[in-house]
């Protein structure tokens, strides 16, 4: 190659390196704008697929579930068919979307019911064993795999190829502090553009930045979660209960729905604690929390209100339905402690409950809590181990 040709090639390489570092800088800044994990995922995949980013046709993100020993699909971005690809690219070219535009479109992506690839990726769960294919090997060996030839393609599970509608692709591990968190899979399934060694090098550098962003977000979310959890029972604490009740009440108002609040108190707890000691008392509160949580519906919100008092927010639930539920809980707790020989029969643990419902009994959060608490007081005053509903007749009492 003549000197001019070498100089031109060197200039192109320098331009590419400058673009790579500039892009990494931009994306790293974008990832620092949020600590929400799902938004981090979206920014990562946007950077991989946007024309101003790395420009792959599609990108998929998988994370390790250490507890189950599997790799789980988290998010996928890009078309699933040639026809879908044509529509997407036409829309992008018409709107001349930049990387910032893609990132700003996060809320629309979340609501998109036609994101077929995203749905498919979220359904993938791969055991972390050497015989489970390239994605599992990417995690186990902590290194990229380039499936860019027919020979390499023979190593890929045909079912995975069919599911993802891909022939040639590259996987890279997502790392943070020498720990493999997950993997990225990218391809050019529709424009068939070859994935070069330079692309893989850039993808690997990008994955290192992405891995750190994911780890930071996880640590943040764990810290936020722990600050909202009652240390003893692992239920939501009082502060989080107040926040969730405000949210659910506002949602009920906007959607013209009802909402019931159950306040529960553990009967005879002071005697139990004084007789058997604080260790047994703490254990009883944990057992109580387990019963309340396991018997509640998936969308009910169980919290420790304080001391031996608990609360359950029941969205879109009538007062009668809440009463039936509270009675079932009461019977469950009574039966659980019925054979407890360590305490006198008349002083065994039971629960009393008070129920109030929006909008029938209260229009505000404070009114709802106060009136459920008033019904609870009446249940305790009437002899414990019973469920009372708030009525206007109770309003002048206590």
SS3 (DSSP) at 97: coil
Helices 238-254 & 365-381 angle (0-180, nearest 10)? 120
What residues does 173 pair with on adjacent strands? 183
Kindly give, in sequence order, each residue whose CB lies less than 8 Å from that of residue 115, ignoring residues fewer than 6 positions away: 76, 77, 109
pLDDT of res. 89: 47
pLDDT of res. 97: 52
CB 93 within 8 Å of CB 52: no
Active-site choice (308, 334, 360, 367): 308
User: Hey, how many other C-beta atoms are within 10 angstroms of the C-beta on 81?
Assistant: 13
Kindly give, in sequence order, each residue whose CB lies less than 8 Å from that of residue 30, ignoring residues fewer than 6 positions away: 43, 47, 99, 103
CB 353 within 8 Å of CB 379: yes
C-alpha span between 263 and 7 (Å, rounded): 77
pLDDT of res. 381: 93
C-alpha span between 39 and 87 (Å, rounded): 25
C-alpha span between 242 and 240 (Å, rounded): 5
Q: Is 308 labeled as catalytic in the residue annotation?
A: yes
Query: pTM of the predicted model, to two decimals?
Result: 0.64
CB 371 within 8 Å of CB 361: yes
C-alpha span between 144 and 195 (Å, rounded): 13
Q: Where are the domains of the chain?
A: 3-222, 238-394
Sheet architecture: strand order including 301-306: 301-306, 309-315, 259-267, 350-358, 387-389
SS3 (DSSP) at 79: coil
* C-alpha dihedral, 243 to 113 to 104 to 207, nearest 10°: 100
> Distance from first CA to last CA of the chain, Å, rounded?
96
CB 188 within 8 Å of CB 48: no
pLDDT of res. 345: 78
Beta strand 70-77 with 125-127: parallel, antiparallel or unpaired? antiparallel
DSSP label of 364: S
User: How long is the chain?
Assistant: 398
User: What totals of helices (H) and strands (E) does the chain contain, helices first?
Assistant: 15, 11
E-strand stretches of the chain: 58-65, 70-77, 125-127, 145-147, 169-176, 179-187, 259-267, 301-306, 309-315, 350-358, 387-389
User: Hey, how many other C-beta atoms are within 10 angstroms of the C-beta on 375?
Assistant: 23
3-222: what CATH class? alpha beta
372 sits in which H/E element: helix 365-381
Average pLDDT of adjacent 10-residue blocks, the chain of 398 residues: 66 62 62 74 83 78 94 87 52 52 55 72 92 91 88 80 86 90 92 87 87 87 89 94 94 93 95 90 94 92 95 95 96 89 82 96 94 95 94 68
Helices 3-31 & 197-227 angle (0-180, nearest 10)? 10
The tokens for 128 are 């972390």
Distance of CA 217 to the CA centre of its chain: 12
CATH architecture of residue range(s) 238-394: 2-Layer Sandwich (3.30)
Nearest to 322 by CA among 365, 263, 381, 256: 263
CB 26 within 8 Å of CB 13: no
pLDDT of res. 165: 82
CB 189 within 8 Å of CB 77: no
């Amino acid at each position: 190659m003549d000197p001019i040709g070498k100089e031109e090639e060197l200039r192109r390489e320098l331009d590419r390196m400058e673009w790579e570092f500039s892009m990494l800088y931009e994306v790293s800044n974008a990832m620092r704008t949020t600590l929400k994990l799902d938004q981090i995922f979206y920014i990562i995949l946007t950077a991989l697929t946007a024309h101003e980013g790395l420009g792959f046709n599609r990108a998929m993100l998988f994370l390790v579930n250490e507890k189950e020993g599997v790799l789980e699909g988290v998010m996928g971005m890009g078309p699933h068919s040639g026809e879908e690809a044509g529509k997407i690219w036409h829309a992008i070219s018409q709107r001349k979307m930049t990387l910032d535009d893609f990132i700003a479109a996060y809320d629309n992506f979340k609501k998109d019911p036609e994101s077929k690839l995203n749905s498919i990726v979220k359904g993938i769960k791969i055991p972390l064993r050497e015989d489970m294919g390239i994605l599992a090997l990417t995690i186990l060996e902590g290194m990229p795999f380039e499936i860019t030839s027919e020979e390499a393609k023979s190593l890929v599970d045909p079912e995975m190829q069919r599911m993802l509608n891909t022939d040639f692709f590259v996987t890279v591990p997502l790392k943070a502090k020498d720990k493999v968190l997950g993997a990225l899979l990218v391809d050019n399934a529709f424009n068939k553009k070859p994935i070069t060694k330079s692309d893989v090098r850039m993808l690997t550098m990008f994955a290192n930045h992405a891995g750190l962003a994911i780890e930071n977000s996880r640590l943040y979310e764990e810290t936020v979660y722990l600050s909202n959890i009652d240390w003893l029972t692992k239920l939501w604490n009082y502060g989080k209960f107040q926040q969730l009740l405000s949210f659910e009440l506002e949602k009920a108002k906007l959607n013209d729905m009802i909402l019931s609040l159950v306040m529960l108190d553990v009967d005879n707890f002071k005697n139990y604690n004084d007789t058997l000691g604080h260790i047994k008392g703490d254990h009883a509160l944990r057992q109580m929390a387990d019963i309340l949580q396991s018997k509640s519906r998936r969308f009910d919100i169980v919290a420790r209100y304080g001391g031996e008092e608990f609360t359950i927010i029941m969205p879109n639930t009538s007062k009668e339905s809440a009463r039936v539920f509270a009675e079932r809980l009461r019977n469950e707790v009574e039966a659980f402690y019925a054979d407890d020989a360590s305490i006198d029969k008349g002083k065994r643990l039971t629960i009393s409950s008070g129920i109030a419902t929006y909008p029938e009994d209260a229009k505000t959060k404070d009114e709802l809590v106060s009136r459920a608490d008033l019904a609870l007081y009446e249940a305790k005053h009437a002899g414990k181990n019973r469920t009372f509903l708030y009525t206007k007749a109770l309003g002048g009492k206590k």
